[in-house]
Structure 1
């Protein structure tokens, strides 16, 4: 790199610090500078974008979820102050969202769990001083089917066949989580759905409901619509151990955050001040192939040398790109599934009464609207909370009627005390805002064969981020944090090289 400067163009001290740190650090997220949370305001800054048709920023970050905020935090810790975070919603957190239950308690309306191997998000929580606690699963799970009711101790699992799980674990060794399209068995595996594979395993009829529920919870669709290759790549993330992916005990659903998962984003946002701009959707991106990229937002134009796209791939279709993106990337965005929002409900009781009966508060309904209900009480169990993923088509859209329908199901499963909740709330991610078009990505068969190579390579000065781009735990909060670290390092190195 040519470092010569003329007397007329001195190197800005801020830029000098950025370049020095970017060149010296092997991983931006490991710099470990002080957080200064005690000085942070309670709400993100709302000052106007200072570079509207003025100065050119080093970096613009689109999206204030875990990926975008992690990238912003890394830029700050590396000494870069010339950036802005643009968020379309009026809040931070992306697909994580806390619902306030009062008295200091919250319930998570979006992503909420972490587990073994998810070290990136766990490290972030420790740095932000957000504590964790184990998910509650001790006791019997209630399974409802027709007029029948069964109590069974699933010992922290969802009751799927561990023998078949072991077969899936073995298959996953040939499917790298970060690049499933590079599997040596790509041609064989990517033409199958998970349902195709399960159908060839001689599954008993009584076990099909468990597999359907498991896939609906993890992937947002039934096995018939989930690509086997992608599902195996998810298991590969979990150390090639299906039970670490699809259980509660010692698994990806094993740990929760005190204060809810959105607390991570809120704490990171407080450190950004006026570098965070809410209610600021980006509508068009011009000149991404030139030295300065122009972003047209609802609050004016932003110009930046590099742009981190920390949003869902399918959401990129709502932006106009001039010039158009390369066909490979554009085709990936058009083909990306965007049809799996979720409706999550919260029922609050004075205490977790079900625990007194030897029940763990978990309910699986074979032929009804409750895909899975579970004990989501706070760590001290000061109140009892039952969260549930439900099938929209089987529950009234009116919240009051939905509450009546669900309490009747819970009473059948847990006892008549369930008929008298203190509060009820729900969050339908399909209706909440126009910026959450899907919660998870049920990648279909054939997708990675056609589009995998276009997932991560930058397009000009656009750098792709977000959990879907992670090389491990893609689709999870951990993947979002990892992608934020990676994209921050990418742009810092790109600025250094420039």
Structure 2
């Protein structure tokens, strides 16, 4: 593998979220080219139109949610739909770096775990395999010039007494509608940081809490609503470790071929129904329909529209007439300050494994939030991925590579100074179509605006992982929201024909 340094700015095949990885067959790899790299410039011709040139359903967004909805419509027998995607690729917040020879590493969401049955079922139906995420071995804690190595238990070692207390509180917070909790006002009035500050957590244990919360919640505990955090625990069957851990947790399993392969395979099956480079600029007549969807490539008309976008992305669309005030204000104020940046160092071999290390690196004060082994299942070479602190790492990819290599060498050995390839994806700079990878809800937001998240507006059906009843914010939540949106669209079609 030749030495290279990439900074994928929305390029094909090219990070966050804590949410795997194996080579796919050569034929499958070749077949991804049209959706991972090429851009369609098709017009809404004969295959796009329904009766009178009006489609039954238009879907905006070709991420996991939008493509799942489209797949469900197709499987139900509905052929009068189209998927419009602003980017030149499918996958949304899942994105693969192509390492060559059928191998990939993820730049975005990548893991699944217990209870995330929707995405596990989807992978199985698409013929995509999974394999375990590595956690066994010693992890490295780097601070200043020192490095401590600690045997990993597969999680972030939080206090069982406090996690049990959070689990009991989470029983009162329905994940799909936390604002309906009998204690919603109380829990949403404080941050998770304020709650933890009252628990006198020893300094050495605060690192585990802060790291786990930052990775799952997208921000520091001080900026995260306690109500929101409890709703996330509720999603995980009220098992805190299931939310945070690799072992028996939401980060337990990786997806063969990289997580973007799920969207690529769905798009391949949908064929010309998926239109890339079709940003939606304006939506008219959404109250009664047919809805007019204006794009640079022409106008699409549909009786119902599934908007499979992150709420703040809806602000980039002009709605005529304007959306209901509460929905409009919710979108405007939606927290979108956690775009995240994720890197990948590729090595000739996973040399750290020979030393009994699992590749996990934590740096309490520095650019590395969490680095981890993301090598292929066959371990034919080594990969260290990392979630990094954007403000503590040089923006220049080459300088960032050198800085991270130095830190990895301190944790894993001098072999880490010599990667054969480096990949760097900053979601905050990559493209205008991904404003945030995680939605870290601040105190007061859910009780003020939460009720505007789900209800349809006229012929508009809201979808996307943020609208999921469980595992909102995860890939599994995106798939669940897609299933739900398709059912709602089919119900609307049946009502019209009744």
TM-score under structure 1 length normalisation: 0.91
Write the deviation string for residues 191-250 of structure 1: whole angstroms up to 9, x where unpaired: 011001100111112222222211211111000000110110000010100000011101
Partners of 2:334 and 2:188 lie apart in 1 by: 15
Matched, 1:43 2:16: no
- Comparing 396-405 and 89-98, the one that deviates more: 396-405
Matched, 1:208 2:199: no
Partners of 1:139 and 1:296 lie apart in 2 by: 54
Q: Quick check: 1:49–1:277 contact (8 Å CA) kept in 2? A: no
Q: Quick check: 1:56–1:304 contact (8 Å CA) kept in 2? A: yes
1:353 paired residue number:
351
> 1:177: Cα distance to partner?
0.7
Partners of 1:213 and 1:127 lie apart in 2 by: 34
Partners of 2:415 and 2:301 lie apart in 1 by: 58
Q: Quick check: 1:46–1:274 contact (8 Å CA) kept in 2? A: no
1:256 paired residue number:
254
Write the deviation string for residues 97-124 of structure 1: whole angstroms up to 9, x where unpaired: 0001112110000000000000000000
1:305 paired residue number:
303
Q: Quick check: 1:52–1:301 contact (8 Å CA) kept in 2? A: no
Correspondent of 1:389 among 387, 390, 405: 387
Structure 2 unmatched runs, 5+: 1-27
3-state SS of 1:464 partner:
strand
Q: Quick check: 2:41–2:277 contact (8 Å CA) kept in 1? A: no
3-state SS of 1:430 partner:
helix
3-state SS of 2:44 partner:
coil
| 1:434-445 alignment runs, 5 A limit | 434-445=432-443
Matched, 1:130 2:128: yes
> 1:69: Cα distance to partner?
0.1
Over the residues paired in the alignment, what is the CA RMSD in angstroms? 1.5
1:283 paired residue number:
281
Write the deviation string for residues 429-449 of structure 1: whole angstroms up to 9, x where unpaired: 001110000000001111111
Relative distance call for 1:41 and 1:153 in structure 2 (3 A) is closer
> 1:52: Cα distance to partner?
8.3
> 1:164: Cα distance to partner?
1.6
Q: Quick check: 2:49–2:80 contact (8 Å CA) kept in 1? A: no
Partners of 2:296 and 2:274 lie apart in 1 by: 14
> 1:165: Cα distance to partner?
1.5
Q: Quick check: 1:470–1:480 contact (8 Å CA) kept in 2? A: yes
Write the deviation string for residues 405-435 of structure 1: whole angstroms up to 9, x where unpaired: 1110000000011111111111010011100
Matched, 1:459 2:440: no
TM-score under structure 2 length normalisation: 0.91
Partners of 2:142 and 2:75 lie apart in 1 by: 51
> 1:144: Cα distance to partner?
1.1
> 1:368: Cα distance to partner?
0.9
Q: Quick check: 2:326–2:449 contact (8 Å CA) kept in 1? A: yes
- Comparing 178-187 and 117-126, the one that deviates more: 178-187
Write the deviation string for residues 382-417 of structure 1: whole angstroms up to 9, x where unpaired: 110000011111111111111111110000000011
| 1:337-486 alignment runs, 5 A limit | 337-486=335-484
2:67 paired residue number:
69
3-state SS of 1:348 partner:
strand
Q: Quick check: 1:96–1:108 contact (8 Å CA) kept in 2? A: yes
Correspondent of 1:333 among 331, 334, 337: 331
| 1:157-168 alignment runs, 5 A limit | 157-168=155-166
1:318 paired residue number:
316
- Comparing 330-339 and 472-481, the one that deviates more: 330-339
- Comparing 482-491 and 449-458, the one that deviates more: 449-458
> 1:133: Cα distance to partner?
0.3
3-state SS of 2:429 partner:
coil
Of the two, which has the highest radius of gyration? 1
| 1:140-219 alignment runs, 5 A limit | 140-219=138-217
Q: Quick check: 1:58–1:306 contact (8 Å CA) kept in 2? A: yes
1:15 paired residue number:
none
- Comparing 114-123 and 393-402, the one that deviates more: 393-402
1:3 paired residue number:
none
> 1:148: Cα distance to partner?
2.2
Q: Quick check: 1:363–1:370 contact (8 Å CA) kept in 2? A: yes
Correspondent of 2:88 among 72, 87, 90: 90
Q: Quick check: 1:46–1:276 contact (8 Å CA) kept in 2? A: no
Partners of 1:63 and 1:291 lie apart in 2 by: 20
> 1:43: Cα distance to partner?
2.7
| 1:24-63 alignment runs, 5 A limit | 43-44=34-35, 47-50=42-45, 55-63=53-61
> 1:46: Cα distance to partner?
5.3
Partners of 1:366 and 1:324 lie apart in 2 by: 46
